[in-house]
Amino acid sequence: MKPLGLSSPPVRAEGGGWRCTTARKALPQGEPAGASDLRYRVSGDGRGGRRLVLELRMNSWRGPQGVLQRYYRYLEGMLERLGLQPPAGLRRAVLSAVPGEWILAGHRLTLEKRFSKGLVYELWFVVERLPSVPEGNQSAAPESSASP
């Protein structure tokens, strides 16, 4: 995630797999300026990354659209690095801060809204690698995007 301005932290071994988390990066948009931030977390196993999370901590209660648009640009960059295109409905869900789920090219994409206190909330965009589907059973993992 270095091209997106997020540092690559050291990888830590964890129960047969690994994980890493970046430091939070302040986003200058919104009011109060710089109050919102994001961080990137990834966990995996011997086959590579298994779960990626891009967290937005929204503290900009006035004019949050600039923060949400910037967050969406980070999501686009993350998906591009994975070789995926943003699914239909993702941009609208992010800019409206509403949850959603999509299945795309062997991955489950989820947008979660988590409340903490008051007007402050977090958006988590999660990309999870789906288990491999045995040949002849392709219907178990749809490859088309679905929007809530």
Whether 138 shows a pLDDT value over 70: the answer reads no
- What's the pLDDT at 5? 59
21 occurs within a structural domain: yes
- Tell me, yes or no, whether 141 lies in a domain: no
Q: Domain for residue 40, yes or no?
A: yes
What secondary structure letter does DSSP report for 91? H
Residue range(s) defining the domain that contains residue 99: 2-131
What pLDDT does 143 receive?
A: 35
Which residue in the block uniquely carries the two structure tokens 């129960």? Answer: 15
The verdict on residue 16 lying in a domain is yes
Reported pTM: 0.78
Work out how many domains the chain is built from and give that number.
1
C-alpha closest to that of 127 among 147, 148, 143, 103:
103
Half-sphere exposure of 34 (CA within 13 A, CB side): 0
